[in-house]
């Protein structure tokens, strides 16, 4: 009986050892090699720019994406479609309290809460926090080798950014700035 219990205990330890071998692994995102491009829309036009990641990681179980989290450096927010005085005015306005209030909120964050899919094609659910307000979002993500790409749509009004929002101020007409903006993300890890 004692010998049998020892064998069972040994098998249990061996099984637990194999289970821990397939544990989750975080892969640090190379922030200098990664990019986040934003695009905002208004009646009759659009603006584009970039924003830097401060830090980030993706979590994998073997080769399957299971999670991740990111910190975004809001102070790096800048337009790329303008130059000179107009660029300075737009960048300053985007950083002001009318929009992202970067003095009070110098970072934003995204935390992946669940992932479905396989073979590098995933549907991601996440919480994004901008200006202290958190919104649940979902978006597709493709992972190939050491690169992940995603295209997100963010509703700025969910983060108390209502400047010239047509859903808040119906009388704006051709002065409106649309509520949703895009983030096109390429992550290297």
CB-based burial of residue 171 (10 Å sphere; 0-12 exposed, 13-18 middle, 19+ buried)? exposed
Per-residue pLDDT tens for 54-65? 999 999 999 999
More confident of the two residues 158 and 164 = 158
Confidence of residue 171 (pLDDT cuts 50, 70, 90): low
Query: Look-up: residue for tokens 């994406």?
Result: 65
Q: Do the beta carbons of residue 35 and residue 51 sit within 8 Å?
A: no
Closest to 119 (Cα-Cα) out of 79, 167, 65, 83: 65
> What's the pLDDT score for residue 36?
98
Model confidence pLDDT, tens digit, residues 101-157: 999 999 999 999 999 999 999 999 999 999 999 999 999 999 999 999 999 999 999
Mean pLDDT of 86-104: 97
CATH 2.40.128.110 fits domain 23-188: yes
> Quick one: pLDDT band at residue 164, thresholds 50, 70, 90?
confident
Domain boundaries, the chain: 23-188
- Please state the φ and ψ torsions of residue 150, each to the nearest 5 degrees: -155, 150
Q: Is the pLDDT of residue 85 over 90?
A: yes
**Residue found under tokens 């659910």:** 125
> What is the distance between the alpha carbons of residues 44 and 141, in angstroms, rounded to a whole number?
30
């Amino acid at each position: 009986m004692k010998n049998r219990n020892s064998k069972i205990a040994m098998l249990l330890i061996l099984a637990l050892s194999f289970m821990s071998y397939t544990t989750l692994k975080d892969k640090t995102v190379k922030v200098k090699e990664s990019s986040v491009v934003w695009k905002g829309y208004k009646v009759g036009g659009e603006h584009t720019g970039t924003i830097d990641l401060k830090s980030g990681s993706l979590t994998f179980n073997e080769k399957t994406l299971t999670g991740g989290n990111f910190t975004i450096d809001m102070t790096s927010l800048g337009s790329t479609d303008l130059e000179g005085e107009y660029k300075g005015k737009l960048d300053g306005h985007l950083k002001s309290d009318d929009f992202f209030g970067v003095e009070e909120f110098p970072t934003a964050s995204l935390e992946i809460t669940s992932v479905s899919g396989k073979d590098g094609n995933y549907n991601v659910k996440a919480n994004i926090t901008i200006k202290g307000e958190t919104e649940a979002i979902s978006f597709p993500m493709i992972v190939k080798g050491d690169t992940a790409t995603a295209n997100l749509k963010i509703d700025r009004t969910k983060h108390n950014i209502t400047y010239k929002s047509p859903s808040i101020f119906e009388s704006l007409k051709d002065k409106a700035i649309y509520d949703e903006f895009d983030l096109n993300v390429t992550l290297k890890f």
